[in-house]
């Protein structure tokens, strides 16, 4: 069983409640699911939809063809009916005009008015939907009570039961033994990862599609004892995070490409001051304002090259919510160990998609702190903030903690004590000291994940959120085609891991990069670092996410 449902309407019509309640019911019954969000940059009206794909088996990504449409307005039917499978259904109110035999009319508006609350129409629809799938619902009141008070919960349960009685079951649900899962977006997973890593200070300016990271943190700030500050702009946001980090707390900021453009001078500040910093960059199509609520992977080279001057930084592309959680924690550990900015990259597609994942395991999480040992300085050792060492890593002491020892951080080129200098000799020492850290960092990078056939004839290369559609695309390609397909999906992108890449590209007959951008930035980066050139490209830049089937078709097309 593998269903793909679309819930569509105008903003403000209750789609979100319907979608989240349905997702929660499915999750509690043990289904695995992937919910894609497609919304416009406006608060009311417009055309928005959710696509919920669910199955008793793992669901990696969204699907384009639909098994059912829940149409809250006429536009939803008109826009999406072409994607509906032959034996699919449309649930629509009686004011929607269609002579399609697949329409099941549910007069939810009228029935909800009879109950006395027009807002419960989504529960009428939900009731009908559950009956259609042969699912009874045990947890409805518990799920609803998370959002509503007792009276409204009862109205919704009544509405649900009325809807339930309106249709006949069409499907027999599979027997599932529910195993624990989390229903989560990658942006929430980033926020949770940051908390698990010991985040204490988060400053940001709201920017779609990164805002949900801050939103989650704000609501947990009191319990987690974390200061979350809305800055006046992204420049303040990053400079605040650096100021906080200077005192020894774990600090982070987050934004999208436009906000990151404002931040880049301070990325260099963290670089030369050697102040640990984690930055989340959740991409959307640019340049400038671009398409605010849509998806793209077009900031890769910008992020890697952000800020003037030369200094080490690390860039990690997050691949899914689970990866987002664990890699965010790793980002904090590495930022502190190497005293560098670490930028974690996501995008709208992954950031907003809600999916089931294995529960995050805090026992697997290790907070590794690398602040300087205060005791040795209390015992009289001379402190030099930028002490030249074998590894290039200097002791980072918390200011104010050791009497008689002061910590001087400087954006000017400086000597070991943090005093600004003009000396060419010291400049060389400091440039080389910072560069050494990058060499050491290279020993910690993680190779890309290999998907599909290890001895592949066709090698696909991707990064970040394309992990999800590529996982399924590789399965489809290996099932439907005679050639052997494999993929490498990069998480760590800077420094660029080269080992698997060199090994696999040397053997594969054809190498294809699959990216959500126009210029093929991963391919360009690989070529710059390794000299390896791809043979073909599959690129998409309409702001909409690549699906597995789309990748499969486009790969076969470029191969023919």
Partner 1 sequence: MNNPKEFITFETAWCPGCGDFGILEALKETLQDMEKSPHEVLVVGGIGQAAKTPQYINSNGFEGLHGRALPAAAAAKISNHKLTVIVDTGEGDSYGEGGNHFMHNIKRNVNITHFVHDNQIYGLTKGQASPTSDTGSVTDFTPDGVNVIPLNPIVAAIGLGVGFVARAFSGDKEQLKKIMTEAINYNGYALVDILQPCVSFNKVNTYAWYKKRVYNLPEDGSYNPNDKIQAFTKGLEWGDKIPTGVIYREDRASFVDKVPFLQDAPLVDLPVETEAIKEFIKEFM
* Window of 53-61, 218-226, 333-341, 544-552 that interacts with partner 1 by CB under 8 A: 218-226
- Shortest CA distance to 341 belongs to which of 309, 371, 367, 304? 304
Q: Does 374 bind partner 1 (CB under 8 A)?
A: no
Q: Does 311 bind partner 1 (CB under 8 A)?
A: no
User: Minimum CB separation from partner 1 for residue 108, in Å?
Assistant: 29
Q: Does 558 bind partner 1 (CB under 8 A)?
A: no
Q: Does 143 bind partner 1 (CB under 8 A)?
A: no
Is 60:548 a contact under the CB 8 Å cutoff? yes
What's the token pair of residue 349?
A: 């597609």
Is 203:232 a contact under the CB 8 Å cutoff? no
| Helix axis angle, 108-115 to 121-132, nearest 10° | 120
Q: Does 261 bind partner 1 (CB under 8 A)?
A: no
Q: Does 345 bind partner 1 (CB under 8 A)?
A: no
Is 362:196 a contact under the CB 8 Å cutoff? yes
* Window of 44-52, 65-73, 235-243, 544-552 that interacts with partner 1 by CB under 8 A: 235-243
* Window of 84-92, 177-185, 425-433, 461-469 that interacts with partner 1 by CB under 8 A: 177-185
* Window of 9-17, 61-69, 98-106, 418-426 that interacts with partner 1 by CB under 8 A: 418-426
Q: Does 47 bind partner 1 (CB under 8 A)?
A: no
Nearer to partner 1, 266 or 466 (CB): 266
- Shortest CA distance to 489 belongs to which of 507, 472, 506, 510? 472
CA distance 251 to 257: 20
User: Minimum CB separation from partner 1 for residue 199, in Å?
Assistant: 9
CA distance 105 to 88: 14
Q: Does 372 bind partner 1 (CB under 8 A)?
A: no
Among 7, 282, 334, 409, binds partner 1 (CB under 8 A): 409
307: left (phi over 0), alpha (psi -120 to 50) or beta: left
User: Minimum CB separation from partner 1 for residue 225, in Å?
Assistant: 4
Q: Does 265 bind partner 1 (CB under 8 A)?
A: yes
Q: Does 192 bind partner 1 (CB under 8 A)?
A: yes
Q: Does 359 bind partner 1 (CB under 8 A)?
A: yes
State the number of binding residues for partner 1 (CB under 8 A). Answer: 66
Q: Does 182 bind partner 1 (CB under 8 A)?
A: yes
6: left (phi over 0), alpha (psi -120 to 50) or beta: beta
* Window of 34-42, 198-206, 428-436, 508-516 that interacts with partner 1 by CB under 8 A: 198-206
Q: Calculate ∠ Cα 520-524-525, nearest 5°.
A: 120
CA distance 188 to 305: 27
Per the listing, tokens 């930055």 go with 279
Nearer to partner 1, 124 or 272 (CB): 272
* Window of 93-101, 229-237, 509-517, 547-555 that interacts with partner 1 by CB under 8 A: 229-237
Among 376, 406, 428, 435, binds partner 1 (CB under 8 A): 406
CA distance 532 to 85: 42
- Shortest CA distance to 494 belongs to which of 544, 453, 438? 438
Backbone φ and ψ for 112, nearest 5 degrees, come out as -70, -35
* Window of 35-43, 114-122, 147-155, 358-366 that interacts with partner 1 by CB under 8 A: 358-366
Among 74, 181, 389, 475, binds partner 1 (CB under 8 A): 181
- Shortest CA distance to 508 belongs to which of 484, 477, 474, 476? 484
Nearer to partner 1, 203 or 478 (CB): 203
Q: Does 60 bind partner 1 (CB under 8 A)?
A: no
- Which sign does the torsion angle of CA 197, 202, 207, 211 carry? positive
Q: Does 30 bind partner 1 (CB under 8 A)?
A: no
Sequence-ordered list of residues with C-beta below 8 angstroms from that of 76, at least 6 positions apart, any chain: 6, 8, 9, 47, 49, 69, 70
Q: Does 176 bind partner 1 (CB under 8 A)?
A: no
What's the token pair of residue 48?
A: 């928005």
Cα dihedral: 339, 238, 210, 45 (round 10)? 180
What's the token pair of residue 374?
A: 């205060």
Q: Does 249 bind partner 1 (CB under 8 A)?
A: yes
Give the total residue count for the chain.
Answer: 560
Among 88, 127, 209, 248, binds partner 1 (CB under 8 A): 248
Q: Does 239 bind partner 1 (CB under 8 A)?
A: yes
Task: Write a three-state SS string for 315-353.
Answer: EEECCCHHHHHHHHHHHHHHHHHHCCEEEEEEEHHHHHC
Q: Does 405 bind partner 1 (CB under 8 A)?
A: yes
Among 206, 243, 286, 290, binds partner 1 (CB under 8 A): 243
User: Minimum CB separation from partner 1 for residue 417, in Å?
Assistant: 5
Query: Which residues sit at the interface with partner 1, rule CB under 8 A?
Result: 180-184, 188, 192, 195-196, 198, 200-201, 203, 220, 222-225, 227, 229, 231-233, 235-237, 239-244, 246-249, 251, 265-266, 269, 273, 359-360, 362, 367, 382-383, 398-412, 417-420
């Amino acid at each position: 069983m593998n269903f793909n449902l679309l819930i569509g309407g105008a903003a403000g019509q209750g789609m979100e409640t319907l979608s989240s309640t349905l997702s929660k019911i499915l999750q509690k019954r043990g289904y695995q699911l992937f919910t894609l969000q497609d919304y416009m940059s406006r608060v009311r009206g417009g055309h928005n939809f959710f696509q919920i794909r669910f199955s008793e088996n793992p669901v990696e990504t969204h699907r384009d063809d639909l098994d059912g449409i829940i149409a809250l307005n006429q536009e939803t039917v008109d826009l999406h009916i072409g994607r509906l499978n032959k034996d699919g259904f449309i649930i629509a109110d009686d004011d929607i005009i269609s002579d399609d035999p697949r329409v099941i009319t549910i007069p939810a508006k009228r029935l909800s008015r009879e109950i006395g609350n027009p807002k419960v129409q989504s529960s009428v629809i939900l009731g009908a939907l559950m009956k259609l799938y042969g699912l009874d619902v045990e947890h409805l009141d518990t799920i609803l009570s998370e959002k509503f008070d007792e009276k409204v919960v009862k109205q919704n349960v009544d509405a649900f039961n009325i809807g339930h009685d309106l249709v006949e079951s069409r499907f027999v649900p599979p027997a599932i033994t529910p195993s624990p899962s989390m229903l989560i977006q990658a942006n929430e997973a980033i926020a949770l990862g940051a908390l698990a890593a010991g985040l204490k200070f988060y400053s940001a300016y709201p920017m779609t599609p990164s805002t949900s990271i801050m939103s989650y943190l704000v609501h947990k700030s009191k319990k987690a004892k974390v200061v979350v500050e809305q800055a006046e702009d992204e420049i303040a946001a990053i400079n605040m995070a650096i100021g906080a980090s200077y005192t020894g707390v774990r600090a982070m900021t987050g934004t999208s490409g436009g906000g990151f453009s404002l931040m880049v001078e301070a990325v260099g500040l963290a670089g030369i001051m050697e102040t640990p910093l984690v930055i989340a960059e959740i991409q959307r199509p640019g340049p400038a304002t671009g398409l605010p609520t849509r998806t793209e992977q077009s900031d890769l080279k910008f992020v890697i090259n952000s800020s003037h001057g030369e200094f080490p930084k690390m860039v990690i592309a997050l691949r899914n919510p689970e990866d987002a959680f664990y890699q965010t924690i790793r980002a904090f550990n590495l930022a502190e160990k190497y005293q560098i900015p670490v930028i974690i990259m996501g995008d709208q597609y992954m950031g907003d998609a809600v999916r089931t994942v294995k529960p995050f395991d805090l026992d697997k999480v290790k907070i590794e702190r690398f602040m300087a040992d205060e005791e040795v300085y209390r015992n009289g050792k001379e402190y030099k903030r930028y002490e030249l060492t074998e590894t290039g890593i200097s002791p980072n002491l918390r200011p104010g903690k050791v009497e008689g020892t002061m910590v001087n951080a400087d954006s000017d080129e400086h000597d070991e004590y943090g005093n600004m200098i003009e000396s060419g000799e010291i400049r060389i020492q400091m440039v080389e000291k910072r560069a050494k850290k990058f060499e050491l960092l290279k020993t910690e990078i993680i190779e890309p994940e290999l998907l599909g056939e290890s001895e592949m004839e066709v090698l696909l290369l991707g990064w970040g959120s394309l992990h999800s559609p590529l996982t399924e695309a590789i399965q489809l390609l290996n099932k439907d085609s005679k050639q052997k397909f494999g993929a490498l999906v990069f998480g760590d992108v800077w420094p660029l891991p080269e080992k698997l890449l060199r090994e696999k590209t040397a053997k594969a007959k054809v190498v294809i990069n699959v990216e959500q951008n126009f210029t093929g930035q991963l391919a360009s980066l690989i070529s710059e670092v390794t000299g390896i050139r791809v043979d073909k490209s599959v690129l998409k830049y309409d702001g909409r996410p690549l699906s597995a089937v789309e990748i499969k078709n486009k790969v076969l097309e470029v191969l023919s």
